[in-house]
């Protein structure tokens, strides 16, 4: 799943003149399902700032949407731009479980447990092994 980059944006990128807002807009338009998942996790945290994290844990409806999510979270530049946009740190498990942590929580116990190998192993199941 690639980004759909308008010609004008590509020309500005080749000239080194693209800001985060333009990049985020390109991601939002190219990967709408992934953007909706990130937005939902970040919004859940924003709605309850006392919660340990915001989460989206609904499996994607199709392989195309799963591909969007994997593309967004596997790309350092896309993930980083989304994190800067929302002001959170995203953590990712399986093929669909996304959490948004407050930046102040990074390095804390809940965040460290969420991203641990033990948590990764505990969040596996036969139906998710192919994702």
Decide if pLDDT at 76 tops 90. Answer: yes
Q: Please, which residues have CB within 8 angstroms of residue 4's CB and are 6 or more apart in sequence?
A: 26, 29, 30
- Domains of the chain by residue range: 7-128
Neighbours of 85 (CB within 10 A): 19
Q: What is the mean pLDDT of residues 103-113?
A: 96
* Integer Cα distance of 18 and 42 in angstroms: 24
* Integer Cα distance of 111 and 95 in angstroms: 19
- Specify the pLDDT at position 128: 53
* pLDDT tens, residue by residue, 3-62: 999 999 999 999 999 999 999 999 999 999 999 999 999 999 999 999 999 999 998 999
Mean pLDDT of all residues belonging to the chain:
91
Report the predicted TM-score, pTM, of the whole model to 2 decimal places: 0.89
Neighbours of 17 (CB within 10 A): 10
Secondary structure of residue 78 in the 3-state scheme: helix
Decide if pLDDT at 129 tops 80. Answer: no
Q: What is the mean pLDDT of residues 85-114?
A: 93
Decide if pLDDT at 121 tops 90. Answer: no
């Amino acid at each position: 799943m690639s980004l759909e980059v308008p010609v004008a944006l590509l020309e500005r990128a080749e000239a080194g003149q693209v800001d985060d807002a333009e990049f985020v807009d390109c991601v939002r338009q190219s990967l709408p399902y992934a953007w909706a998942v990130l937005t939902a996790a970040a919004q859940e945290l924003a709605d309850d700032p006392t919660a340990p994290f915001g989460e989206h844990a609904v499996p994607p409806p199709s392989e195309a949407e799963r591909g969007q999510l994997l593309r967004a979270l596997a790309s350092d530049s896309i993930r980083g731009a989304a994190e800067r946009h929302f002001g959170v740190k995203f953590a990712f498990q399986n093929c669909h479980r996304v959490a948004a942590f407050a930046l102040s929580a990074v390095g804390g116990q809940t965040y460290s447990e969420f991203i641990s190998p033990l948590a990764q192993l505990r969040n596996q199941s036969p139906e998710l092994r192919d994702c």
